[in-house]
Structure 1
Amino acid sequence: MPDRSSSPPTRRVVDIVSLLAGADAPISTAGIAEQLGIARATASAILSELTTAGWAVRDPTRGYIIGPALAGLPTAALPHDVGDLLAELAARTGYGATFSRIEPDRLTVLDVRHGVDRVVPGIPVGHRVPLQFPAGAGVMPWRPAREQNIWLRTATEDDDQHNACALLALVRERGIAVFRPRADDAGLVDLLADLLSAVGSELLRPQLRTRTLRQLAALTARPFTRAELDSDEILPLSYLAAPVFDANGTAAYEVQLGPLRAATTRIERDDFIEATRATARDLTAALADNRRHR
C-alpha cells in the first residue's frame, strides 16, 4: 500500500516512536522493521538518531525501548488500541487525528494519524502547547473548578471570555467542542494548512514553524455556538475535540479531528461529530480495559 503521508521519512520516525512508546517490552531492529513494513536498514538508521537524541535506548538484550528524553510522556502506559482507534478515525473521515494528554498547564500530543484528504499539518508526537483557551476545551467541563477558572482567565479578549464561558456549558451538553475559523479567515486557513502539508513542516526553521502554527491556531479558534451546531447553513469547520476518560474516570485525554475545511454541510458536520465522539468512547473503553489486564 503506498505511503500517503506528505513526508514518508517523517512518518516512519513517528511510527517508530509510537511503536516504542506503546510497547511493554524491548523490540529489536528486525522486529520494528517487520511490524512497520520498512527496510531494516531504514529502521536501524532512524533508531541510531533516536538513540543519539535520547528518544530511544538500546537495552542489554539488543532491543529498543522509549528513551529518557520522552520518559515524561505518558505514552508507555497507553494500550496499543489507542493508535489503532485513532487510525480508524482518520481512515473513516479522511482527515488527520491526534490524541493528547491534558495536564493543568499544558496539552501534549501523544499520537498522530494522518488522513487521506488532510494530514495533521506541523503537529508531531511530543508537541506541547500551553493549556490556554481554546486548547483543552474538550475536557475542561470535567476538570476541577480551579483548573476551569484558570483556563477561563486565559481568554483575554472580551469576545473570547464570553465564548469560553458558553463553551463549557455547550461541551458538557454535547460531549464535544467544535471550532471554526473566524468569519473572514476560512480561505486563509485552507491556504496555510495546504502550504504546511505541501512543504513539510520539518523543512521549516523552528521559529518559522512555531509562528505558522500559532497563526493557524489563532485563525481556527472560534467555537461553534449552539445555533451554529444546529444550523442547516454551509459553514467552515476547523477541528473537533472530545474528552477521553482514563481508568479512574478523569477526563485526562482529548481526541482531536482536524478537517480544516472552508465549507461543510450540516450532514457532514454531524458525521464528523459522531465519528469523533464514537472514537472518544472507544478510547475510554480501551483505557479502562488496559487497566483491568495490567
Structure 2
Amino acid sequence: MTPTVGDGVKSRQPSPPTARAIRVVELLADTSMGPITIADIVRRTGQSRATAHAIVSELVEQGWAMRSRSSGEITLGPVFTTLATRVTAADPLIARARVAMTELSDDLHMPCFVARRVGPETISVVDQTWIPTADADGSVGTALPWITRGHPITLRPPFSREFFAWASHAEQDAWIAKAPAALRTRLRLALSAIAERGYSIERMTDDYVAVTDALNSLDSVSDSLRSRMGDLLTELTTIDYLPDELHGDLPVITIGAPVFDAEAVTASLVACPNRTMTPDALHDVGSRVRTTADGLSAI
C-alpha cells in the first residue's frame, strides 16, 4: 500500500530547480526540434536567460549536453546518450516490442510504432518501423512525419485515446474535462467504443495533422488559446469511429492498441495504414494490432 500523509509520512516538497533542469533535458531529447539555443529554451520554458544558461552550463560540464562555440546550438552530450543506450538495451519492452512490431509491420505491409508513457501527461515514441515505398495501387502506407524515435506526444484530448479507454472513471473524467466542451460527449462515447473493440482509430486530414503538431509544440500558451485551437479540431475531423459508423469507405491513419503493465496502460502499439479501408479490412488490422499488443502486455 502506498503511504499517505495521514500515515505519518511527510508529503514531498516540490523542487522547482530540478523541474527546470528536467524540462531542458526534455527539450534536448526532442529529436523533432533539432539543435536548440539558449533563446529557444527561454522561449519554450519561460525560464529566465540566466537560469537557462546556468542549467545548460552544468549539463555541458557533466557531459549531458554539448554547446557549439560558433553557433551556440546545444545538443545532447556523450554521457546522456551512453546512459540512454544502456537503458534501451536493458528495457524488456523495447527489446520484445522490436521483434513483435517488425513482424507485424512485415505482415501488414505498413509502418508501426510503439509509444510509451514517460510522464503524467506525456508519451514518447520508443521505436518504429519504416515502410518507404508503396504498391502500384497505393495500398501500402508510409510512415507519418512525426513518427520518429524519441518524439514526445502530449496526452491531451482527443489524442492517444487508448491510454484512457481502460482508465478509471475519475481519470477519464479528468482527461475529458481538459477538452473543449464541444468534444466531450463524443470523447466519452469514443472511449467506450475503444474499450469494447480493443483499439483506437485515428482518421484525420492533412489540416488535422498540422494542427495536432502545432498543439503538441505549444508548451507555454494559455489555456484559453489551447482551448480555441482544440475547438478548431472539431471543424477538421470527427473523433474516432463509433460502432454504427463502421460502414462504407473508412479513411484510417492509425490504429492503436494498449500495452498493459499490471492494470494500467503504459504503452501503445500503433499501426499506420494511412489509407481508406473497408470495415472488414479495418477489423482485421485492428485485431492483429490488439493481439500483438496483448503479447507485449505480458512484460
Q: Same fold (TM over 0.5)?
A: yes
Give the equivalent residue in structure 2 for 1:151. 175
Q: How far apart are the structure 1 equivalents of 2:244 and 2:151? A: 33
Q: 1:79 to 1:128 in 2, by over 3 A?
A: closer
- Secondary structure at the aligned position of 2:103 is classed as helix
Instruction: Measure how far apart 1:152 and its partner are.
Output: 0.5
Matches within 5 A, 1:1-294: 53-54=75-76, 56-57=78-79, 65-67=82-84, 76-102=91-117, 103-116=119-132, 117=140, 118-158=142-182, 160-181=183-204, 185=205, 188=206, 210-211=213-214, 222-229=239-246, 231=247, 233-246=248-261, 248-261=262-275, 263-285=276-298, 287=299
Q: How far apart are the structure 2 equivalents of 1:75 and 1:189? A: 39
Q: Which amino acid aligns with 1:91?
A: D
Cα distance per residue 1:60-106 (max 9 Å; x no partner): xxxx84349x97x8983535111111111221112211111234311
TM-score (norm 2): 0.58
Give aligned pairs, total.
206
Give the equivalent residue in structure 1 for 2:17. none
Q: Is the 8 A contact 1:113 1:120 kept in 2?
A: no
Cα distance per residue 1:7-58 (max 9 Å; x no partner): xxxxxxx9xxxxxxxxxxxxxxxxxxxxxxxxxxxxxxxxxxx985446549
Q: 1:87 to 1:147 in 2, by over 3 A?
A: same
Q: How far apart are the structure 2 equivalents of 1:139 and 1:237? A: 19
- Secondary structure at the aligned position of 2:165 is classed as helix
- Secondary structure at the aligned position of 1:251 is classed as strand
Q: Is the 8 A contact 2:157 2:179 kept in 1?
A: yes
Q: Is the 8 A contact 2:187 2:239 kept in 1?
A: no
Unaligned runs of 5+ residues in structure 2 are: 1-30, 32-63, 67-74, 133-139, 218-228
TM-score (norm 1): 0.59
Cα distance per residue 1:93-146 (max 9 Å; x no partner): 122111112343112111111235312323211111221112231121222433
Q: How far apart are the structure 2 equivalents of 1:141 and 1:90? A: 24
Percent of aligned pairs with the same amino acid: 22
- Secondary structure at the aligned position of 2:128 is classed as strand
Unaligned runs of 5+ residues in structure 1 are: 1-13, 15-49, 59-63, 194-207, 288-294
Q: How far apart are the structure 1 equivalents of 2:78 and 2:108? A: 32
Q: 1:267 to 1:213 in 2, by over 3 A?
A: farther
Q: Which amino acid aligns with 1:275?
A: R
Q: Which has the larger radius of gyration?
A: 2
Q: 1:75 to 1:51 in 2, by over 3 A?
A: farther
Q: 1:94 to 1:234 in 2, by over 3 A?
A: same
Root-mean-square deviation over aligned CA pairs = 3.7
